[in-house]
Structure 1
Amino acid sequence: MNARVSHDPEFRNDEIDLIALVSGLWRQRWLIASVMALVGAAAVAYAMLATPYYQAQSILKPTSLKSFDQLNLTGVYKVDRDQVLKRIGISLESYSTRYAFFQEHQALFQALEQPGMTLEQAFERLNESAFTILKPDAKRANSLSNYVGLSFVYPEGVDGPAVVNGLIAYAIEQERTRIAAEINTLVANRLSKLQSQIAAARIGYEADKQSKIAKLLEADSVKRANLIDELSGLRQQLKLRRQNRIAQLTEAMMIAEQLGIHKPATPSSMREIGQQSSNNLIRTEVNNQQIPLYFMGTEALGAERKALRARSSDDFTDPHVGEIEKQLRMLRHNREVEALRKRDNDDLFLAKLAKWEEESSYLQALKPELLLQDLVDVDQPAVSPLSPIKPKKLLIVVLGLVLGLMLGVMLALLRSVMSGLKPLPLAMLNPLPVEHAGHQLVQQ
């Protein structure tokens, strides 16, 4: 037998009844207010008891051009003010700089010390988030000026402005020391190079001087040897010429003796020898032929030969001998060599020595510490803030009240749901329609 179960359509309304919801919340308004007041009181207590944190910051900008002009004019070291500002910013960002400042000024961080934590550990924790480097945004090309800043967030009890200003002064002094050390290194290297150049120039000059002296003495020696050889040859020539003259005179005397010529005579006068002249005549004979030597007569020839044989030196017979002897006497002393050897200060004759010594004296007198007074301009020094940046008391109280309200509403809703819980109808337990379910039961 088939049973057919039919029911009228049943409509269900799953929508939330807002009026009933609001009415339920209003009935539990004292619960919501109590929770809100409790959470708000906790927020107020936290805002009042929490350790306040303050912020101190300082801004650095590039110094004026005149600060590095004198140092740049030395030519030893080129200082760029923007680069110096960047280097100081890198130093401020460096952990080693901060830790070195902390080691030298631990009194500024005594307030950080906590039970169970050393001062170094407290500084390590603070350093991770407290320090911030301020710099222009790289994406903003229209920035009016370049700057570097340091921001420090610190708890109450720490002298934040003293930490910021001290750390910046410490970083500037460290950078000044580094730049001065770099300049001193460059100056020392330049001075060493100059000393090497001066020493090399002196050695080279001494070698050149000795070489010049040796060349002058060698030239004098060669010239003296040539003059001596020339003088010896010339004397030999004069001696040979004297011996030849003696031989000629001897031969002429023999001829004159045979001809009976004892006095100087001429060929024409030979025809009148033996003839007596009644008148005293003076005879003049002119001819263009050389008269033989024996016409001088034996007396003249003998006298000349005797004089030639008695001669001890023939130097006076040739003026060139005197010229050679003069040159030999001049070669006994080379005045240029004597002047070179008598130089008391050879540095006066070094062409570049005066310039090198001037540069050396200038570098030795250079004091880079005096030329590095203003590395950067402190555009904004750190000062004590008027109020802490956290905790933000008003915001904490407002958030506490909002959170208390939300928590109170949630508790009220949960209470309403728990108090109004009823058994669910069959239609909510079975997702199939009732008619279809009955038909399945009949078939079974």
Structure 2
Amino acid sequence: MQNSPVNPSASQEIDFGSVLRILWEQKWMVIGVAAITTALAAVYAYTSTPVYEARAYVIPPTQNDIANFNYGRSKEAELSPYKVKDVYGIFSRNLQAESLRRKFYEEKYLPMLSSSEREGPQDVLYSQFSKKIVVLPPSKDAPDRYLIIAQNKDPVVAKEWVDTYIERAGERAENEMFKNVSREAEVRARNLAQQIDSLRETGKQNREDAITKLREAREVASAIKLEKPPIITGNPAVEIAGSMDGQLIYMRGTKALEAEIKNLEARVSNDPFIGRLRELQAKYSFFKELQARTRDVAVYRVDGAVELPDTPVKPKKVVITLLGLLCGLVLGGMAAVAYQIFVRREIKH
């Protein structure tokens, strides 16, 4: 009779009960490994440099905050007033701008590092910095609120970073707003200046045309020897056809025409006789001197005070210690099973 072959791998299989028995037999090994890993994790957790986190929320300004940006801006002035979303949009773009982050990195972060740390790869340093200053965009629950987070081993520095980062974004946004206001006023003033120059040129041409007409009328009046305008009496229904300012301008007489010609030739300025000129000049002066009033303007608001953090966010001591214990139990169990399978088998052989 032939014996059936025995599967060697099946003979080496260990069921769950066997594992529990091995762990119980080697409990001191498991406990020892767990104690070592827990102690190492606790040492790391309680000796690592704590990291503090400062937070700030920013929200849009009020209509009153941006009122001075709209000084002189109206539909009558052909300049549309700024809305809150326009101003806050400029701030939010500056808050998330890479140029602001880079400048903050160069002026605030790098000087805090030691000379040896600054000699490291710049891309690595910038990557580390990017994890310490974070700008989170608005969420669905708060569509206009940004969250700025800064982490540092010094809680005072963490708070200062948040405050400074927001202030710099606000300064950049305000400067951009001032430039926009000044630029628009400058363009408007230039357009008005062109209109004024055009009206003055037209006034000059009109005066020259008037002198030419008066000279021709003087020649006509002189030819008919008419020095003074005639006095018409009799039937009031009888009127002279035409107009003294039209074709019959010569009816004024040579003396009046000569006086008017001399007056026009001696005129220093045509401005008082040009329609709409004073109105345009007033608008030009207004836009020429128009500037945004820097007092009492804001492009954002901080939602609540930026508190000085007093509890570190890293390292999480309890979590790290518990993870050390869990890893120790797993490693101890694996060591116990391996010892049972391999070491004792070698002893038996």
TM-score band, normalised by shorter chain: 0.7 to 0.9
Does residue 37 of structure 2 align to residue 36 of structure 1?
Answer: no
CA distance in 2, matches of 1:329, 1:29: 132
- Which residue type is aligned with residue 23 of structure 2? L
Count of residues in correspondence between the two structures = 315
Aligned residue in 2 for 1:337: 261
- Which residue type is aligned with residue 135 of structure 1? P
**Contact 1:109–1:158 (8 Å) recurs in 2:** no
1:346 and 1:24, CA in 2 relative to 1: closer, same or farther beyond 3 A? Answer: same
Further displaced range: 407-416 or 117-126: 117-126
**Contact 1:112–1:158 (8 Å) recurs in 2:** no
CA distance in 2, matches of 1:119, 1:410: 40
CA distance in 2, matches of 1:49, 1:356: 75
Does residue 3 of structure 2 align to residue 79 of structure 1?
Answer: no
- Which residue type is aligned with residue 78 of structure 1? P
**Contact 1:71–1:371 (8 Å) recurs in 2:** no
CA distance in 1, matches of 2:305, 2:121: 27
Aligned residue in 1 for 2:132: 130
DSSP-derived class of the 2:303 partner: strand
- TM-superposed deviation, 1:365: 3.3
- Which residue type is aligned with residue 390 of structure 1? K
CA distances 1:90-130 after superposition (whole Å, capped 9, x unpaired): 21222211232344x44x65443362534994752333322
Aligned residue in 2 for 1:153: 151
CA distances 1:178-226 after superposition (whole Å, capped 9, x unpaired): 111121122222222222221221121011011111111112213433x
- Which residue type is aligned with residue 188 of structure 2? R
- TM-superposed deviation, 1:344: 4.3
- TM-superposed deviation, 1:384: 1.9
- TM-superposed deviation, 1:416: 0.5
Alignment counterpart, residue 347 of structure 1, candidates 271, 295, 301: 271
CA distance in 2, matches of 1:78, 1:348: 33
Does residue 170 of structure 2 align to residue 172 of structure 1?
Answer: yes
1:428-443 superposed matches below 5 A: none
- Which residue type is aligned with residue 209 of structure 2? S
**Contact 1:56–1:152 (8 Å) recurs in 2:** yes
Alignment RMSD, CA only?
3.3
DSSP-derived class of the 1:385 partner: coil
1:405-444 superposed matches below 5 A: 405-421=329-345
Aligned residue in 1 for 2:289: 365
Higher Rg: 1
CA distance in 2, matches of 1:63, 1:57: 19
CA distance in 1, matches of 2:16, 2:61: 69
1:175-254 superposed matches below 5 A: 175-225=173-223, 227=224
DSSP-derived class of the 1:136 partner: coil
Gaps of 5+ in 1: 230-326, 423-444
DSSP-derived class of the 1:368 partner: coil
1:329 and 1:151, CA in 2 relative to 1: closer, same or farther beyond 3 A? Answer: closer
CA distance in 1, matches of 2:329, 2:43: 17
DSSP-derived class of the 2:144 partner: coil
CA distance in 2, matches of 1:15, 1:356: 100
CA distance in 2, matches of 1:9, 1:180: 92
1:19 and 1:199, CA in 2 relative to 1: closer, same or farther beyond 3 A? Answer: closer
- Which residue type is aligned with residue 86 of structure 1? G
**Contact 2:67–2:297 (8 Å) recurs in 1:** no
Does residue 57 of structure 2 align to residue 59 of structure 1?
Answer: yes
1:55 and 1:144, CA in 2 relative to 1: closer, same or farther beyond 3 A? Answer: closer
CA distances 1:281-301 after superposition (whole Å, capped 9, x unpaired): xxxxxxxxxxxxxxxxxxxxx
1:145 and 1:18, CA in 2 relative to 1: closer, same or farther beyond 3 A? Answer: closer
1:18 and 1:123, CA in 2 relative to 1: closer, same or farther beyond 3 A? Answer: closer
Aligned residue in 1 for 2:302: 378
- TM-superposed deviation, 1:385: 1.3
- Which residue type is aligned with residue 88 of structure 2? L
Aligned residue in 1 for 2:323: 399
- Which residue type is aligned with residue 197 of structure 1? Q
TM-score (norm: length of structure 1): 0.63
Aligned residue in 1 for 2:118: 117
1:42 and 1:379, CA in 2 relative to 1: closer, same or farther beyond 3 A? Answer: same
Percent identical: 23
Gaps of 5+ in 2: 74-78, 227-249
DSSP-derived class of the 1:370 partner: coil
**Contact 1:85–1:147 (8 Å) recurs in 2:** no
CA distance in 2, matches of 1:125, 1:40: 31
CA distance in 1, matches of 2:218, 2:15: 136
- Which residue type is aligned with residue 23 of structure 1? R
1:393 and 1:114, CA in 2 relative to 1: closer, same or farther beyond 3 A? Answer: farther
DSSP-derived class of the 1:56 partner: strand
TM-score (norm: length of structure 2): 0.78
